[in-house]
Amino acid sequence: MNQSTSVYDSKPWTRHYGDAIPAQLPPPQHANLAELVRTAEARFAQHKAFTTCMPNGMHGTLTYAQVAQHADAFAVYLRECLGLAAGTRVALQTPNCLAYPVVAFGVLKAGCVLVNTNPLYTPSEMEHQFSDSGAEALVIVDMFANKLEDLLARTAIKHVIVCEVSQFFPAIPRAVIRSVMKVWNQVLPAIHIQHVKLASALAEGARARQAKNIEVAAYTAGVDRDALAVLQYTGGTTGASKGCMLTHGNLLSNREQAYAMGRSHIVDGAECVLTALPLYHIFAFQLNLLSFYAVGARNVLAPNPRPIGNLQRAFENYPITWVSGVNTLFNALLNEEWFTAFPPKELKAAVAGGAALQYPVAQRWERVTGTQISEGYGLTEAAPMVSFNPLTGVQKPDSIGIPAPGTEVRLVDDAGQPVALGQPGELIVRGPQVMPGYWNRPEETAAAIRDGWLYTGDVAIMDADGYFRIVDRKKDMVLVSGFNVYPNEIEDVIARMEEVLEVGVIGVPDARTGEAVRAYVVPLAESLTEEAVKAHCRKHLSAYKVPKVIEFRSELPKTPIGKILRKELRAEHIKAQGTR
């Protein structure tokens, strides 16, 4: 064993687990996700499970017992009424609403495979995902069902079930919301394809269950931890969207790892988590849906967190103890007077992932709320959590923390050899949460997973304590006159300016230096100038890292969870320059 390898194999991060984090994961508690869901439903039957909170304050709520009843009915509908076999892919395309957990848990209880789908996808993106996954059934929110008209024939989808954002709301609030959406907002288009409404599907499933005396648990009696549970498609920000095959074991193990990292701040049956991130994204799916459901938490669902004022009623009306988000979400909240004037009183913890948490945002959040944002790191291929700053003990600024129990991490060079302590290298991961591969893509699987290690494409540095810091994506690195420049570092420096709301940095072709740094800034103050930003950068960065051009924008392109899309900024620039 060489010295570099021993640095990682000795797992220096375990010294910082303390008493709160177990050194080893406990033995598996559940054979599959359906068993985990059923256990929570029996244990917390009368507790409130999910509340959809609309911007106007209207809401609908389901208890754990009600979720169990509806999810069981949907499982029976899939298996008995539609005749779907175990392992059949079922796509779910809806924003955060009460229909989401009912359908997702119903799919898992049926022994089928859930295909999470972004409801904002264009028809071409939908067609790619449906065709690639081979989904035979689709549950879609009515607002976007008209996108299906010209693409269904080119997919394997045979059954379409339509749900509503206000599904399971009391009659009067539901009628008001439907009326506003249809007449005032005009966001409920006519649906011309053959479909079944979710309410009808649940009623039919309930009747079939009673008539046939069906024991729903029998559907998953033979489903073990190696079975495929979810096809979770990558965001496509670095190329064609691929389906990550996440097994029951991947998701259960990562749920156990997440609980191990956060159990010091969790009281079973007493937590209230705000879910502003979309549940169809792996971060919220794992943390907010699976992990908090397992401990009996109440999940407050926000169908649309944009504009950020949409979250005001959720914070005002519910005792939020946990918030998950990305840097842009926390930053936006801190720029709302209603939030800074009356920060959530019950808040225990906030967790950040999906994109780098900028230090100025973390500092201000702690001043305003009195709690820390615990930054972590993960990726879809790892279900998703790899590491987190511990909620007790040492938290390091600009760090993604320490690996979760049961996770091995190394940093390697281009030849796959471990780099020395303190040196940048590609972060590779091995653990029970790592997917077996990409759906029907053996070549890409072989490139991503080598000798059991997942190659993340992220460049990181480990310190002597075993804390990791992400430098940047390998593909986003900018080469200026032979020097490596990482956009994350520059974005963090510019974000420290009080006049800056958001910033994105890319590399662009340059005749003199090969590539040059270009920054896109959303200002808070109209008086902010390009020279002021450059002068600030010159104080904190080497000359070759200072952006050559600063472009001011009213907004920046983002993914559904709020990650700034450097790829789109780069494509816009190339198109404008007429170059490739």
Q: What is the pLDDT of residues 213-254, one digit of tens each?
A: 999 999 999 999 999 999 999 854 345 689 999 999 999 999
Burial letters for 285-294: b for 16+ Cβ neighbours within 10 Å, e otherwise?
A: bbbbbbbbbb
Domains of the chain in sequence order: 12-457 (3.40.50.12780), 477-577 (3.30.300.30)
Mean per-residue pLDDT of the chain: 93
Range with the poorest average pLDDT among 119-123, 319-323, 413-417 = 119-123
- The pairing of beta strand 196-197 with beta strand 159-163: parallel
Nearest to 114 by CA among 244, 20, 272: 244
Q: How confident is the model at residue 3 (pLDDT cuts 50, 70, 90)?
A: low
pLDDT given for residue 485 in this prediction: 83
Q: How confident is the model at residue 491 (pLDDT cuts 50, 70, 90)?
A: very high
At 23-51, the pLDDT tens digits run 999 899 999 999 999 999 999 999 999 99
pLDDT given for residue 480 in this prediction: 85
At 245-301, the pLDDT tens digits run 999 999 999 999 999 999 999 999 999 999 999 999 999 999 999 999 999 999 999
Burial letters for 379-388: b for 16+ Cβ neighbours within 10 Å, e otherwise?
A: bbbbbbbbbb
| Rounded distance between C-alpha atoms, residue 125 and residue 70, angstroms | 30
User: Are 231 and 358 contacting, i.e. CB atoms less than 8 angstroms apart?
Assistant: no
Q: How confident is the model at residue 2 (pLDDT cuts 50, 70, 90)?
A: low
Nearest to 302 by CA among 59, 560, 48, 555: 59
pLDDT of 1 higher than 50: no
Percent of all residues in the chain with a pLDDT value above 90, rounded to a whole number: 79
At 136-176, the pLDDT tens digits run 999 999 999 999 999 999 999 999 999 999 999 999 989 89
**What are the angstrom distances between the C-alpha of 464 and each of 10, 357, 461, 470?**
11, 22, 10, 15
